[in-house]
Structure 1
Amino acid sequence: MLTHAEPTAGELTTTETSVPAYAWVVFALTVGLLLSDYMSRQVLNAVFPLLKTSWNLSDTQLGSLSSVVALMVGVLTFPLSVLADRWGRVKSIVLMAALWSIATLGCALSTNYGEMLLARAFVGIGEAAYGSVGIAVVLSIFPVRLRSTITGAFMAGGAFGSVLGMALGGAVAAQHGWRAAFGAMAAMGIVLVVIYRIVVTEKRIATLQPASVSRDANGLGMRMSLRALLKGLFSTRSVVCAYVGSGVHLLVPAAVWSWLPSFLNRYYGMATGKAAATAALFVLVTGVGMVVCGNLADRLSKDNGARKWSVAIAYCLICFALLTVGLRMPAGPAQLALIGAAMFFCAGAAGPSGAMVANLTPPSIHASAFATLTLANNLLGLAPAAVLTGIAADHIGLLGALQLVPFAPLVAAAVFLIGKRNYAVDLDRVNALREEAGGHAQR
């Protein structure tokens, strides 16, 4: 079997071994803001039981407070990411983080469901393009050989932020009420925005990029027409499969993260604080799994990039099997153990998916490409997960609703299989187009 090297046109070389210290500083701060992003998003889940009691909300209403954030992210991520490519990625990151932090403070001040829903919508507006722009900044300063690892680690920041949001939010809410929980998340976000604004600049980022990447990003990306942009984003069947498969498989963590505190509260009799802290452990397992699974995908596909597809498929099938069995077991330690094992793999395909998107799109539109990936992640998985599970829970109970969730990674595995079958031809096509574009640029 012929192997296909990862694309290197206009990118850092796969043989580069050293990574500048400032690159890791940028990575740490960018992930730090991602932690704040998900802390602001997921603190809501920790206080679901308190809001349900305080405002007499249905599960559908609770789910909508969670899903509206992902919905706004899904709707706005693409146009805002395109603007960020043109206006400046670092400036966009600072503006977005400030907005979601202020909106989180608005959640703390809400007096009814309508006000909370509006504030949560603005949290989503602030977060809309952060994931895509943040990962584009990070990938531009790291070697191609680390793509799955860096992508998986970056996206795992969402899981770790969710852990902190649920655990700290639950602890603060138990002592000082749910308003204080939102206020604490807002304060952390504002502090991180100030630090990021001081340390990270467009000029210093540019010094870490090869001249070809900087020229590509600052030249071609600024002049590209919408038609050419869309052509670059959807040029192959395999990149579309990466978008779709990634989005569908993330329905599992989105649903479980949103409803696990309530599940533990209702079926295990845990108090709000304990349920949130316990659920946070499962989210932590997801984050660790994303990092480990992303790194494992890089290692297994070192000599054959197409193997990332097989690894992604394996992660989806393992998650399906473990979660299906776990959710049909009686309440107890064995059930929680299987659910935990499933959570380790439930977002494991995030790293390989992101690597495939980066491989199959030009560097000049990576923010837009990851915006498209974020769009798919939100509209196909993150946005509908909580509210659909809530609607089902109102009719068949929360346990019955959660038992439907494991079928999502089964669908994702089928999509990834289609992508794998087309990847070799599509990658050759993309590399040929890049070489042709490079030739025109030199002339």
Structure 2
Amino acid sequence: MAVYIATSSNEDAAPTVPRAYAWVVFALTFGLLLSDYMSRQVLNAVFPVLKAEWSLTDTQLGSLSSIVALLVGILTFPLSVVADRWGRVRSVTLMAGLWSLATLGCALAASYNQMFAARFFVGVGEAAYGSVGIALILSIFPAHMRSTLTSAFMAGGPVGSVVGMALGGIVAAHFGWRWSFGTMAAFGMFLVVFYAVIVRESKLRPERKPAAGAGPTAAAQPLKLRAIFSGLFASRSVVSAYVGSGLQLFIMAAMLAWLPSFLNRYYGLPTDKAGVAAAAFILVGAIGMTVCGIVTDRISRSAPSRKWNVAIVYSLLSAGFLLAGFMMPTGTGQLVMLALGMAMVAGTTGPAGAMVANLTHPSIHATAFATLTLANNLLGLAPGPFVTGLIADRVGLMGAMQLVPLIALAATAAFIFGKRHYADDLRHIRGLST
């Protein structure tokens, strides 16, 4: 039977998992990531309806979106540590079940406070899924596929957002907004049952094949907490990658949350059409994320430090296109510029993930991705919708959207700082690994 054998000069052992089963696990784990973001972003499609029905301010609407990302940011690290000890498969199943039930609670909410409470538990359920899911996938595939799998898996976020907003808007228009949440909850529960039946921890941890040159005592030993923290923040460049990635995703989060409302208010689109149109922009972002990752790998194949240059270019291009778009009058020209900006805005995800992997020891990669998720949520995904709503209540949604792309300049500064120290930091990491 064909198997994938992960090999790396920095890893003590290589897990072997049947190739077909590895891809089945990837597909199911990716499917749950779609459910994650469908449950998270369906809210944005029904913003106009909730605003009218419950007389909510833009700040309140933004808080319903941001509370999920805030909980993800706060809980991702501790829950990732728990998942590593309790079992990743068991943890994934429990988390997906929780966010699906909480999404059903959103469908039953009768007020802003009840909706906020339900969204709170959506955030708790989704908190560590991204880091645990990618760690599970990377553990059963070869090391040389790490960048490709990371970008492909993370692209599930925008794709799930697309489906959530488009389907949510359509369902809301025909059956009411409560059915939008109910549909997402049903899809999540279906996948949870399927996942629990097919994916087994024992199948993901078969006998391990020693890597070349590994001695009989090469078994990995659990690291102490101090050593883990030291490895996660050992270099200035890895901290810069965390910060730059998080700041850039501030823009993506704001676009995810407010594009349906933007199209509703300034283009006069009804809820269902606004959701579908916004989903098209997010799909452009998902495609752009994947394409940018592939381009980055090709450009930096012989010179890894070029990843920093590429990330800088993506940040500046996204800022330029989005600023130009929101400064233009409504119409086709504006939509084209916004689409170009969306294609670039999440392009830094792949380079940032690769830089974090390069700058941390393989023994703490799962925790490093949890830390990256923490930065992405606390610096970007959580404050993006809320801050944009806060500004919109004061200067209007158009004014707020014109200010959001400026965050890319701060992300650019972080990437420039990281590039200056990357070579020295990488030599240091490699020295510790030998």
Instruction: Place the TM-score, normalised by the shorter chain, in its bin.
Output: over 0.9
Residues 357 and 208 (structure 1 numbering): CA distance in 2 closer, same or farther, change over 3 Å? farther
What secondary structure sits across from 1:327 in the alignment? helix
Contact map agreement 2:13 2:219 (CA 8 A) in 1: no
Contact map agreement 1:146 1:298 (CA 8 A) in 2: no
2:11 maps to 10
Shift in Å, 1:329 = 0.2
Residues 210 and 362 (structure 1 numbering): CA distance in 2 closer, same or farther, change over 3 Å? farther
Q: Take 2:385 and 2:197, find their aligned partners in 1: how far apart are those partners?
A: 36
Once the two structures are superposed, the pairs formed by residues 225-244 of structure 1 within 5 Å of their partners are 225-244=224-243
Shift in Å, 1:204 = 2.1
1:161 maps to 160
**Structure 1 stretches lacking a partner, 5+ long:** 1-5, 436-443
1:33 maps to 32
Contact map agreement 1:76 1:128 (CA 8 A) in 2: yes
1:123 maps to 122
2:90 maps to 91
Q: Take 2:191 and 2:113, find their aligned partners in 1: how far apart are those partners?
A: 29
Residues 217 and 336 (structure 1 numbering): CA distance in 2 closer, same or farther, change over 3 Å? farther
Contact map agreement 2:12 2:210 (CA 8 A) in 1: no
Find out whether 1:52 has 2:43 as its counterpart.
no
Q: Take 1:329 and 1:110, find their aligned partners in 2: how far apart are those partners?
A: 39
Deviation digits for residues 411-434 of structure 1 (CA, Å, limit 9, x no counterpart): 111111111121121111112212
Residues 218 and 61 (structure 1 numbering): CA distance in 2 closer, same or farther, change over 3 Å? farther
Shift in Å, 1:320 = 0.9
Once the two structures are superposed, the pairs formed by residues 27-426 of structure 1 within 5 Å of their partners are 27-207=26-206, 211=210, 219-220=220-221, 223-426=222-425
Q: Take 2:70 and 2:35, find their aligned partners in 1: how far apart are those partners?
A: 19
Residues 30 and 210 (structure 1 numbering): CA distance in 2 closer, same or farther, change over 3 Å? farther
Contact map agreement 1:217 1:363 (CA 8 A) in 2: no
Q: Which amino acid aligns with 1:401?
A: A
Contact map agreement 1:151 1:294 (CA 8 A) in 2: no
Q: Take 1:144 and 1:310, find their aligned partners in 2: how far apart are those partners?
A: 24
What secondary structure sits across from 1:406 in the alignment? helix
Contact map agreement 1:217 1:365 (CA 8 A) in 2: no
Greater shift after overlay, 164-173 or 306-315?
Answer: 306-315
Shift in Å, 1:49 = 0.5
1:438 maps to none
1:3 maps to none
Residues 354 and 119 (structure 1 numbering): CA distance in 2 closer, same or farther, change over 3 Å? same
Deviation digits for residues 52-105 of structure 1 (CA, Å, limit 9, x no counterpart): 011010000000000000000011111101111111112111111111011101
Shift in Å, 1:395 = 0.4
Q: Take 1:209 and 1:338, find their aligned partners in 2: how far apart are those partners?
A: 51
Residues 12 and 239 (structure 1 numbering): CA distance in 2 closer, same or farther, change over 3 Å? farther
**How much identity, in percent, do the aligned residues show?**
60
Shift in Å, 1:206 = 2.6
Greater shift after overlay, 209-218 or 70-79?
Answer: 209-218
Deviation digits for residues 289-326 of structure 1 (CA, Å, limit 9, x no counterpart): 11111111111111121111111111111101111111
Shift in Å, 1:216 = 11
Residues 177 and 345 (structure 1 numbering): CA distance in 2 closer, same or farther, change over 3 Å? same
Q: Take 1:413 and 1:389, find their aligned partners in 2: how far apart are those partners?
A: 20
1:440 maps to none
Q: Take 2:386 and 2:117, find their aligned partners in 1: how far apart are those partners?
A: 16
Residues 128 and 309 (structure 1 numbering): CA distance in 2 closer, same or farther, change over 3 Å? same
Q: Which amino acid aligns with 1:68?
A: I
Contact map agreement 1:82 1:368 (CA 8 A) in 2: yes
Residues 306 and 122 (structure 1 numbering): CA distance in 2 closer, same or farther, change over 3 Å? same
Q: Take 1:216 and 1:304, find their aligned partners in 2: how far apart are those partners?
A: 34
Q: Number of aligned pairs?
A: 425
Shift in Å, 1:219 = 4.2
Residues 217 and 67 (structure 1 numbering): CA distance in 2 closer, same or farther, change over 3 Å? farther
Q: Take 1:348 and 1:67, find their aligned partners in 2: how far apart are those partners?
A: 22
Contact map agreement 2:13 2:211 (CA 8 A) in 1: no
Shift in Å, 1:146 = 3.1
Residues 216 and 424 (structure 1 numbering): CA distance in 2 closer, same or farther, change over 3 Å? farther
Q: TM-score, normalised by structure 2?
A: 0.93
**Structure 2 stretches lacking a partner, 5+ long:** 1-6
Residues 427 and 269 (structure 1 numbering): CA distance in 2 closer, same or farther, change over 3 Å? same
Q: Which amino acid aligns with 2:75?
A: L
Greater shift after overlay, 136-145 or 45-54?
Answer: 136-145
Contact map agreement 1:100 1:127 (CA 8 A) in 2: yes
Q: Take 1:149 and 1:342, find their aligned partners in 2: how far apart are those partners?
A: 23
Q: Which amino acid aligns with 2:256?
A: W
Q: TM-score, normalised by structure 1?
A: 0.92
Q: Take 1:360 and 1:226, find their aligned partners in 2: how far apart are those partners?
A: 18
What secondary structure sits across from 1:224 in the alignment? coil
Q: Take 1:226 and 1:289, find their aligned partners in 2: how far apart are those partners?
A: 37
Superposition CA RMSD, Å: 2.3
